[in-house]
């Protein structure tokens, strides 16, 4: 399944920590050359930077880091240009970077709203646009995978900008897929449910629910893992599946469940 990524050039935004780190490392294992386009190189919880971990691993992939604010068109252009200069092309773009702000809608600061929308939605458009321009110029197709969320298709209290942004990502994905399908550029999205990352425990105190609440609400009875999400991303990044404009829900059955809570 992953042989087709050998020597391919991949950008993963927000790859310093969490899902992005797992995704970037999995592409490296598959033999891809990976650019981590993140605002900082080091994981939020410390440890080896993602690009160094890939380069130190026993695989054929190489990696580099490019400081990138995904809401800046200039920064994203620099990341794409650096990738093409180093690796000769851009074959896969994973728009993963994301942020959130938690507050009741009536108290949500407008600057916080704009920040979440700028990173989670506008950043995905900028990344897709510049990657799409490069892929069109190459005339060899490509894959763009956007990080959505199951919350893009349902509501969650105190997350109005996050839910709005992820809903936008879902329809943006469909629109770009239709526009670029004739040029063999596949555009899909992954919509994770609750995924246990290295910062989950640090942020749980700000939530209105417990880990046990999530376990009971999720039909498979647990969080997902970053490694599982990375496998889903690699599937969507392939170009041999006749799938474009789709949103893959990787939420342990959450969005399919009409009952909603169990002991």
Long-range contacts of 99-107 (CB under 8 A, 24+ apart): 100/159, 100/161, 100/162, 101/161, 101/162, 102/158, 102/159, 102/206, 102/207, 103/158, 104/157, 104/158, 105/158, 105/160
Torsion sign over Cα 158, 172, 76, 4: positive
CA 128 to chain centre: 12
Query: How much is the pLDDT for 182?
Result: 98
Residue 204: is its pLDDT beyond 80?
no
- The reply to whether 261 falls in a domain is no
Q: Does a structural domain hold residue 24?
A: yes
Number of independent structural domains in the chain? 1
Q: In the predicted model, what is the mean pLDDT of the chain?
A: 94
Dihedral of CA 224/228/230/233: which sign?
negative
Q: How confident is the model at residue 2 (pLDDT cuts 50, 70, 90)?
A: low
Residue 102 has pLDDT above 80, yes or no: yes
Q: Given a cut of 80, is residue 198 above it in pLDDT?
A: no
Provide the Cα torsion 212, 216, 217, 223; round to 10°: 60
**Per-residue pLDDT, 207:** 65
Q: Write out the catalytic residue numbers.
A: 162
CA distances from 72 to 12, 39, 57, 80, 82 (A): 16, 11, 31, 13, 16
Give the 3-state DSSP-derived string for the chain, with helices as H, strands as E and coil as C.
CCHHHCCCEEEEECCCCHHHHHHHHHHHHCCCEEEEEECCCCCCCCCCCHHHHHHHCCCCCCEEEEECCCCCHHHHHHHHHHHHHHHCCCCEEEECCCCCCCCCHHHCCHHHHHHHHHHHHHHHHHHHHHHHHHHHHHCCCEEEEEECCHHHCCCCCCCHHHHHHHHHHHHHHHHHHHHHHHHCEEEEEEEECCECCCCHHHHHHHCCCCHHHHHHHCCCCCCECHHHHHHHHHHHHCCCCCCCCCEEEECCCHHHCCCCCCC
The answer as to whether 56 is a domain residue is yes
From CA 10, how far away is CA 30, in angstroms rounded? 11
d(CA 222, CA 216): 8
- Kindly state whether residue 74 falls inside one of the protein's structural domains: yes
User: What's the CATH code of the domain at 187?
Assistant: 3.40.50.720
pLDDT over threshold 80, residue 14: yes
Per residue in 53-83, pLDDT (tens digit) is 999 998 888 999 999 999 999 999 999 999 9
Range of the domain at 200: 3-253
Backbone dihedral angles phi then psi of residue 44, each to the nearest 5 degrees? -60, -25
For residue 200, the model assigns a pLDDT of 73
Rounded distance, CA 232 to CA 188, Å? Answer: 11
In a domain, 172, yes or no: yes
In a domain? residue 134: yes
**pLDDT of 1 above 80:** no
pLDDT digit string (tens) for 206-247? 567 788 889 999 999 999 999 999 999 999 999 899 999 999
- Which of 122-136, 148-162, 193-207, 214-228 shows the lowest per-residue confidence on average (mean pLDDT)? 193-207
Is residue 227 included in any domain, yes or no? yes
Asked whether residue 23 is domain-assigned, the answer is yes
As a whole number of angstroms, the distance between CA 122 and CA 70 comes to: 8
């Amino acid at each position: 399944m992953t042989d087709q990524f050998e020597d391919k050039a991949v950008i993963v935004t927000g790859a310093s920590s969490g899902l992005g780190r797992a995704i970037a490392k999995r592409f490296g294992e598959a033999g891809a050359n990976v650019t981590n386009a993140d605002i900082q190189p080091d994981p939020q919880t410390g440890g080896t930077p993602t690009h160094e971990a890939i380069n130190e691993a026993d695989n054929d992939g190489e990696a580099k880091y490019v400081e990138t604010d995904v809401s800046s068109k200039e920064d994203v252009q620099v990341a794409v240009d650096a990738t093409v200069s180093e690796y000769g092309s851009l074959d896969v773009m994973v728009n993963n970077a994301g942020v959130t702000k938690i507050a009741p809608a009536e108290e949500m600061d407008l600057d916080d709203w704009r920040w979440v929308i700028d990173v989670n939605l506008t950043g995905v458009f900028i990344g897709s646009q510049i990657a799409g321009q490069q892929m069109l110029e190459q005339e060899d197709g490509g894959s763009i995978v956007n990080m959505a969320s199951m919350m893009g298709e349902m509501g969650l209290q105190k997350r109005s900008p996050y839910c709005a942004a992820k809903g936008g990502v879902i329809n943006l994905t469909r629109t770009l897929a239709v526009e670029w399908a004739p040029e063999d550029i596949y555009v899909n999205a992954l919509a994770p449910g609750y995924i246990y990352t290295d910062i989950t425990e640090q942020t749980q105190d700000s939530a209105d629910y417990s880990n046990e609440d999530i376990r009971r609400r999720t039909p498979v009875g647990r969080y997902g893992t970053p490694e599982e999400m990375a496998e889903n991303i690699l599937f969507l990044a392939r170009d041999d599946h006749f799938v474009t404009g789709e949103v893959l829900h990787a939420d342990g059955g959450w969005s399919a469940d009409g009952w909603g809570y169990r002991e």
